[in-house]
Amino acid sequence: MKLYGHPMSTCTRKVLTVLAEKGHEAEFVLVDLMKGEQKSPENLARNPFGVVPTLEDDDFTIYESRAIIRYLDQRLPGTPLTPTELRARGRMEQWISVEQSYLSTPAVTIMLQRLFMPMRGQQTDEEKVKAASAEVARTLDVVDRALASQDYLAGSSYSLADISWMPYLHALAVAKAGELITARPHVAAWWKRLSERPSWVKVAS
């Protein structure tokens, strides 16, 4: 298997976390986002949207991080990351959808504004950070209420839903927006549980 991605990319990190949870090594092929390699003809041939990640499994190529993690969970041996019980599986899908709809975009906006703009010698637009932080806060308020009565998003067991949220929580922490996590007790305890897992320690290092 080959994973085309970038180690700092949130979407690539979801895939790397699933591989680490399954104890499976894929060949990692760097697509250097800093050099714009995602728009190269080679990358566009495997991912027509000109982004990362993309997974190659023999003659099968798949892109879109959330599709890749579902594929890998079924494809690889190891602890299943999808609950078999119908309602728990429904919850897992609900929270993956919430991440995609209401978390990833504002969290990435904060990361781009606070980390990448200064790296490029440009100024952070604090108005954009403020608007994105309000969106993230609304989402985390909802998840904080859910986590008051369960340890993980799907219920009692860790699943693909937790994995899909982790890179964005990490992005908030490194973009000096960690108070969005620490101000919410159940989100803070959940993030501590998730970020101490050996899979995430490996991916984040």
Ligand X SMILES: N[C@@H](CCC(=O)N[C@@H](CS)C(=O)NCC(=O)O)C(=O)O
CA gyration radius, the chain? 17
Residues contacting ligand X: total by CB under 6 A: 12
Tell me whether residue 33 or residue 137 sits nearer to ligand X (CB atom). 33
Q: Is residue 51 a contact residue for ligand X (CB under 6 A)?
A: yes
Please provide the DSSP assignment of 100-139 as one string: IIIIHHHHHHHHIIIIIHHHTT----HHHHHHHHHHHHHH
Subset of residues 113 to 132 that bind ligand X, contact rule: CB under 6 A? none
List, in order, residues 6 or more apart from 201 with CB less than 8 Å away.
Answer: 195
Tell me whether residue 56 or residue 64 sits nearer to ligand X (CB atom). 64
Q: Is residue 96 a contact residue for ligand X (CB under 6 A)?
A: no
Among 18, 20, 26, 52, binds ligand X (CB under 6 A): 52
* Least distance CB 41 / ligand X (angstroms): 15
Tell me whether residue 147 or residue 166 sits nearer to ligand X (CB atom). 166
Q: Is residue 10 a contact residue for ligand X (CB under 6 A)?
A: yes
List interacting residues with ligand X (CB under 6 A): 9-11, 33, 38, 50-53, 64-66
